[in-house]
C-alpha cells in the first residue's frame, strides 16, 4: 500500500507559491512508514483533476489532496472528487454552524459563498479544521481507496494532519514502522565521483543510499525502515561509518551541519581564533560564521576589502604586487590572509578574492575565477585557485567561494 500527494492550485503551477505542503506531507508519511512514490500538482481545472485521480487510484491506495477547499468558484476539489466517484454532495449543517461561529468570533457575518464549504461527498467523514473555515474529509469511496482532503493554508493543514489524520492512519495499522533518514554531507567531490566510490551501497535494500547534490556540496541520503528511530539508526550506523571511511576528508558533516558550524567547532575545541578578509563575497563568509551561535568565541571579525585601496590601506597588500598580478591572484589572496590575521591578532586568517560576475571577466581571468588565501599560526601561508565557471551565477559563485574557503580551513585543522 502506498500514498500519493495531490496538490491542487494553479498558483502552484505558475510558481507564485512554494509547494511546502508536499514537503511536509512527504516527511510525515515517512514518519508513519507509509511509502509514497508520486506527487502531482494540478491546476484548478475539474477535467484535469479527474485525470489525475484516475491515474492516482491505479497506483496508490491513499490519496492526499491539498488546496481547492475554499469558498470561491475555482475551489473545486471536493466537488470534482465526488463527481469522479459519482456520489452526490450533501450539505452538512454542523459545518455551516461551525463556519458561522468562526465568523461571529471575528465580528463578521458568514458570506453566502461559504456555504459551499459545507458540501461534502455523501458518506464522507469530516476532517475538522479548528483554525480555518474549510474542513477536509476522510472518505473511502471504494474499499481499497482512502481519500484525505486538506486546505492549502499550511498552518491549517499541519494542525488537521496532526490532530485527525495521524490518529486515523494509526488506527488503520500505520505507524508501526517508520522511515528514518540521515543526510551525509560532502565537499570537494562531485556527485558522480562520490557515487562511483560508494556504488555498492547504492544497491542496498534497507537501509537505502541515494546521492544528490546542490549549491556546491554533495549529499548521500541513508534511509532505513524499522519499528523505531533507534532501530533505524542501528541499521544506518555501520553503513554511515563505512561511507565516511571511504570518503575520507571529503566528508564533513551530517544532517544540519554546515561547513561554518563544523569549522567553528574545530576552532572552539582547539581554542583558536579566526578572522577573514573578503573581496568578491562581500561579507558572505563572515555572515556564514556569525550565523552560528557562540561564534564570538572564535571569530574575531573581518574586513570587506572590495576596493583595492582597502586591500592596501587596511590589509597591507603590496601595491606593486597588486599592479603586477591584479587583485584576483594567488599572491594577493595570501597577503590579504596574512594582513587580516596580523591586524586582528587571530590564530588563522582566511581570505577570498575573485570575479563573481556577471561582468569583470577577461580571457585570462574569467568570471568564476576565485583565489582563497589561508594564513596559519606558524606563519605558514598558502593559496587555492578555483574556477567555478559562469553558469553558476553571481549568487552561487559567492556562496560556493565562501564554503570552499571554510572547507580548506577545515581540512587544514584536521590534518596538521
pLDDT in tens, 207-245: 999 999 888 899 999 999 999 999 999 999 999 999 999
List, as one string, the DSSP characters of 181-226: EEEEEEESS-HHHHHHHTGGGGG-SSSEEEEEEETTEEEEEEEEEE
Backbone angles phi, psi at 392, to 5 degrees: -70, -30
For residue 313, the model assigns a pLDDT of 96
For residue 123, the model assigns a pLDDT of 96
Q: Is pLDDT at 8 greater than 90 in this prediction? A: yes
Among 129-133, 174-178, 318-322, the minimum mean pLDDT is found in 174-178
Among 70-74, 156-160, 314-318, 324-328, the minimum mean pLDDT is found in 70-74
Read off the pLDDT of each residue in 313-328 and give the average, rounded to a whole number: 97
Read off the pLDDT of each residue in 263-289 and give the average, rounded to a whole number: 97
Supply 80's cell numbers: 470534482
Supply 222's cell numbers: 541513508
Q: Is pLDDT at 391 greater than 70 in this prediction? A: no
For residue 1, the model assigns a pLDDT of 82
For residue 232, the model assigns a pLDDT of 95
Read off the pLDDT of each residue in 119-131 and give the average, rounded to a whole number: 95
Q: Is pLDDT at 276 greater than 70 in this prediction? A: yes
Backbone angles phi, psi at 343, to 5 degrees: -70, -30
**For 236-253, how does the pLDDT look when each residue is reduced to its tens digit (9 = 90+)?**
999 999 999 999 999 999
* Residue-averaged pLDDT of the chain: 95
For residue 211, the model assigns a pLDDT of 94
Backbone angles phi, psi at 100, to 5 degrees: -60, -45
For residue 376, the model assigns a pLDDT of 97
Q: Is pLDDT at 355 greater than 80 in this prediction? A: yes
For residue 216, the model assigns a pLDDT of 87
For residue 356, the model assigns a pLDDT of 93
Q: In what order do the strands lie in the sheet with 178-187?
A: 208-214, 217-226, 178-187, 251-254
First to last CA, the chain: 53
**For 16-30, how does the pLDDT look when each residue is reduced to its tens digit (9 = 90+)?**
999 999 999 999 999
Distance in angstroms (rounded) separating the CA atoms of residues 312 and 14: 49
For residue 206, the model assigns a pLDDT of 96
The number of helix segments (H) and strand segments (E) in the chain equals 15, 17
Distance in angstroms (rounded) separating the CA atoms of residues 401 and 369: 10
User: Confidence band (pLDDT; 50, 70, 90) for 169?
Assistant: very high
Query: At a CB cut-off of 8 Å and minimum separation 6, what does 415 contact?
Result: 249
Read off the pLDDT of each residue in 175-184 and give the average, rounded to a whole number: 91
pTM reported for the whole predicted model: 0.82
Amino acid at each position: 500500500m502506498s500514498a500519493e500527494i495531490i496538490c491542487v492550485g494553479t498558483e502552484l503551477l505558475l510558481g507564485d507559491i512554494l509547494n511546502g505542503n508536499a514537503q511536509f506531507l512527504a516527511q510525515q508519511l515517512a514518519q508513519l512508514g507509509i511509502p509514497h512514490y508520486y506527487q502531482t500538482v494540478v491546476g484548478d481545472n475539474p477535467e484535469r483533476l479527474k485525470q489525475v485521480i484516475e491515474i492516482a487510484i491505479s497506483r496508490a491506495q491513499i490519496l492526499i489532496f491539498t488546496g481547492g477547499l475554499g469558498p470561491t468558484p475555482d475551489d473545486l476539489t471536493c466537488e470534482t472528487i465526488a463527481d469522479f466517484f459519482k456520489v452526490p454532495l450533501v450539505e452538512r449543517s454542523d459545518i455551516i454552524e461551525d463556519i458561522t461561529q468562526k465568523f461571529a468570533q471575528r465580528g463578521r457575518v458568514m458570506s453566502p459563498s461559504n456555504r459551499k464549504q459545507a458540501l461534502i461527498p455523501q458518506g464522507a467523514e469530516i476532517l475538522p479544521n479548528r483554525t480555518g473555515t474549510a474542513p477536509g474529509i476522510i472518505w473511502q469511496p471504494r474499499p481499497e481507496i482512502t481519500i484525505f482532503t486538506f486546505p492549502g493554508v499550511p498552518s491549517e493543514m499541519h494542525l488537521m494532519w496532526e490532530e485527525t489524520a495521524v490518529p486515523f492512519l494509526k488506527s488503520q495499522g500505520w505507524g508501526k514502522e517508520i522511515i528514518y533518514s540521515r543526510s551525509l554531507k560532502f565537499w570537494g567531490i562531485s556527485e558522480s565521483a562520490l557515487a562511483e566510490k560508494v556504488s555498492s551501497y547504492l544497491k542496498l535494500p534497507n537501509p537505502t543510499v541515494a546521492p544528490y547534490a546542490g549549491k556546491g556540496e554533495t549529499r548521500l541520503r541513508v534511509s532505513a525502515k524499522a519499528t523505531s528511530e533507534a532501530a533505524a539508526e542501528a541499521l544506518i550506523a555501520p553503513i554511515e561509518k563505512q561511507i565516511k571511511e571511504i570518503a575520507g576528508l571529503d566528508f564533513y558533516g551530517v544532517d544540519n551541519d554546515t561547513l561554518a558550524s563544523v569549522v567553528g567547532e574545530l576552532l572552539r575545541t582547539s581554542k583558536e581564533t579566526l578572522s577573514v578578509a573578503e573581496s568578491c563575497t562581500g561579507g558572505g563568509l563572515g555572515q556564514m560564521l556569525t550565523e552560528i551561535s557562540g561564534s564570538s568565541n572564535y571569530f574575531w571579525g573581518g574586513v570587506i576589502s572590495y576596493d583595492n585601496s582597502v586591500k592596501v590601506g587596511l590589509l597591507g597588500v603590496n601595491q606593486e604586487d597588486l599592479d603586477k598580478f591584479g587583485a584576483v591572484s594567488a599572491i594577493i589572496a595570501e597577503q590579504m590572509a596574512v594582513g587580516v590575521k596580523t591586524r586582528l591578532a587571530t590564530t588563522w586568517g582566511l581570505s577570498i578574492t575573485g570575479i563573481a560576475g556577471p561582468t569583470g571577466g577577461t580571457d585570462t581571468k574569467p568570471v568564476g575565477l576565485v583565489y582563497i588565501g589561508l594564513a596559519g599560526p606558524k606563519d605558514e601561508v598558502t593559496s587555492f585557485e578555483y574556477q567555478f565557471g559562469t553558469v553558476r551565477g553571481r549568487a552561487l559563485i559567492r556562496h560556493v567561494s565562501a564554503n570552499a574557503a571554510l572547507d580548506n580551513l577545515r581540512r587544514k585543522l584536521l590534518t596538521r
